[in-house]
Amino acid sequence: MKTLSQIAAAVPGMRVVGDGDVVVLGITHDSRSVQPGDIFAALKGENVDGTRFVESATANGAVAVLCDAPLDIPLPQLVVTDVRMRLGEVAAACFDHPARALRLIGITGTNGKTTITYLVESILQHAAMACGVMGTVEYRFGTQKWHADHTTPEATVVQSIMRKMVDAGANALAMEVSSHGLSLGRLNGCEFDVVAFTNLTQDHLDFHHTMEEYADAKMRLFTEMIAHRLDVKVVINLDDLFSKKIIESCGRDVISISSLGNLAATLYPVSPPEYSISGTVATIQTPDGEVKIQTGLCGAHNLNNLLVAFGICRAMGISNDTVQKAAKHIPSVPGRLERVPCDLGFSIFVDYAHTPDALVNVLRVLKPMTPGRLICVFGCGGDRDGAKRPIMGAAVAQYADIAIVTSDNPRTEEPKKIISMVLPGVQKFQDDKLELNQLGDARNGYIAITERREAIARAIQCAGAGDAVLLAGKGHEDYVIIGREKFHFDDREEAAIAVKKRKENAL
């Protein structure tokens, strides 16, 4: 527990208005989540001013308000310029700086972050470290789990969950670091020990507007976030062109990786890796000699993810032998090339791929391993970067035999409008527009089926011996967003239902 005065003393430029001896138990930015003893952080957004909810927060038990100017209210206040960007520091002080009790690992990039956090967690567990995970799928440590609304949650949530993990015995945390989180200051107050970069491809331009802004947001993890500590380790994927700018800007030695065999890297395969549907085998050159890695993860993109995780663990002093042993037992990552049980002679996979680069990566993995047709069901989210829609269509049409364009979290947009923006990209590589009755026999082509449930059912209904069906875009998500509401929807469940119906119809 801290008093307001103690919190203010820990945050430069902050002052207390009112009783500084008030004891604080927590802090939240959501007036509906206020518990007795909490500070209510009155954030000012584009559309909503948090000071409007002070009365509601008070009714729920708030004992103080964090604001950027004194308010005419009876509650004591912590006043600081720019609550949004200082909230992380305040929350860290409120929860007694939990990051200082953790080996904190931050992973940023467009693709691969989730898989890498799972890999790091698994390797560190083999090294007898108690590691938590915070990212897209969930926030968890041991048997405790917290629902993930955002890849990187608000600063109050970040610090609160870190405190809970530390209190439960965690001594490490692998965290996905999103560009939104960096831009909005959600990671301020975090003290990283290792930061890592995966790749940079087009995404989130609805928020950042340009690739330059998007890249600048990612760069903050390697400049502003670690500028005050020279002992922070940096892990970089040399196979991505943006790596050069990061290395030049961070001003320190880095641990580098390359799945393409770049000899300048710290870690790289010494010979062509062996890829199969059952996993990957690669001999990796390290500063300590070669190490043979065997893993159930499929494809070149997952070897890249594993090498980033290897680099992170090397930065933490984990031995090659431990990494080698852990790689054999890495669990599957929810919604990342996750196999749906099917005994009908074809394969079904669910993957979160929702960017052009991620789609290309997963399709390139499946294509050479599929003796029959590769059928891909995919869509593009509404109210998001429209420029990537035809690019995603082109990616699928180029590598899949059958492209089924459908809906994916349309939000406030009309699904048919979204699909109409995807189709020009599809048509660059696929000339044949298919009808429903042609799906079973066609060797290539495309079709638009607006309802995702029907699209999944049709794909599984038409699949034949040796085919592979990829349901792309939603992965682990168990909901669909229509308008501004969430409704239950899980690609894995829908696929299982379709398999069951096909078997019943065959009787």
Do 423 and 468 share a domain, yes or no? yes
Which segments of 288-444 are extended strands (E)? 289-295, 338-339, 347-351, 374-378, 402-405
Distance CA 394, CA 74 (A): 60
> Over the stretch 394-415, which tens digit does the pLDDT of each residue have?
999 999 999 999 999 999 999 9
**Tokens 């584009």 belong to residue:** 46
Do 321 and 449 share a domain, yes or no? no
CATH at 56: 3.40.1390.10
Do 370 and 258 share a domain, yes or no? no
Point out the least confidently predicted range of 135-144, 200-209, 304-313, 479-488.
Answer: 200-209
Give a yes or no: residue 91 inside a domain. Answer: no
> What's the N-to-C CA distance of the chain in angstroms?
65
* Model confidence band, residue 195 (pLDDT cutoffs 50, 70, 90): very high
* Model confidence band, residue 150 (pLDDT cutoffs 50, 70, 90): confident
Do 212 and 299 share a domain, yes or no? yes
Do 19 and 161 share a domain, yes or no? no
- Domain span holding position 66: 2-83
Do 9 and 47 share a domain, yes or no? yes
Provide the number of structural domains found in the chain: 3
Q: Is the pLDDT of residue 372 over 80?
A: yes
Domain end marker among 48, 83, 118: 83
* Model confidence band, residue 506 (pLDDT cutoffs 50, 70, 90): confident
Give a yes or no: residue 210 inside a domain. Answer: yes
Do 125 and 31 share a domain, yes or no? no
> Over the stretch 111-125, which tens digit does the pLDDT of each residue have?
999 999 999 999 999
Average pLDDT over residues 384-393: 93
CATH at 422: 3.90.190.20
Give a yes or no: residue 450 inside a domain. Answer: yes
CA-to-CA dists, residue 191 to 224, 314, 317, 399, 480, angstroms: 11, 19, 19, 42, 35
Average pLDDT over residues 362-372: 94
Q: Is the pLDDT of residue 202 over 80?
A: no
Give a yes or no: residue 333 inside a domain. Answer: no
Do 282 and 216 share a domain, yes or no? yes
Q: Is the pLDDT of residue 204 over 60?
A: no
Do 405 and 452 share a domain, yes or no? yes
Give me the pLDDT at residue 385, please.
Answer: 87
Give a yes or no: residue 55 inside a domain. Answer: yes
The model's pTM is: 0.89
Give me the pLDDT at residue 207, please.
Answer: 62
Q: Which residues contact 179 (CB under 8 A, 6 or more apart)?
A: 108, 204, 207, 208, 214, 217, 218
Give me the pLDDT at residue 160, please.
Answer: 96
Do 358 and 310 share a domain, yes or no? no
Give a yes or no: residue 90 inside a domain. Answer: no
pLDDT over 90, % of the chain: 87
How many other CB atoms are there within 10 angstroms of residue 506's CB atom?
7
Do 107 and 222 share a domain, yes or no? yes
> Over the stretch 158-179, which tens digit does the pLDDT of each residue have?
999 999 999 999 999 999 999 9
Q: Is the pLDDT of residue 143 over 80?
A: yes
Point out the least confidently predicted range of 205-209, 357-361, 429-433.
Answer: 205-209
Highest mean pLDDT among 46-55, 70-79, 331-340: 70-79
Do 281 and 404 share a domain, yes or no? no
Give a yes or no: residue 332 inside a domain. Answer: no
Q: Is the pLDDT of residue 201 over 90?
A: no
Average pLDDT over residues 248-269: 95
Q: Is the pLDDT of residue 45 over 90?
A: no
CB-based contact 102:172 (threshold 8 Å): yes
Domain end marker among 327, 360, 384: 327
**Tokens 């429209």 belong to residue:** 386
pLDDT over 70, % of the chain: 98
Give a yes or no: residue 207 inside a domain. Answer: yes
Q: How high is the mean pLDDT of the chain?
A: 94
Domain end marker among 83, 107, 129: 83
Half-sphere exposure of 377 (CA within 13 A, CB side): 33
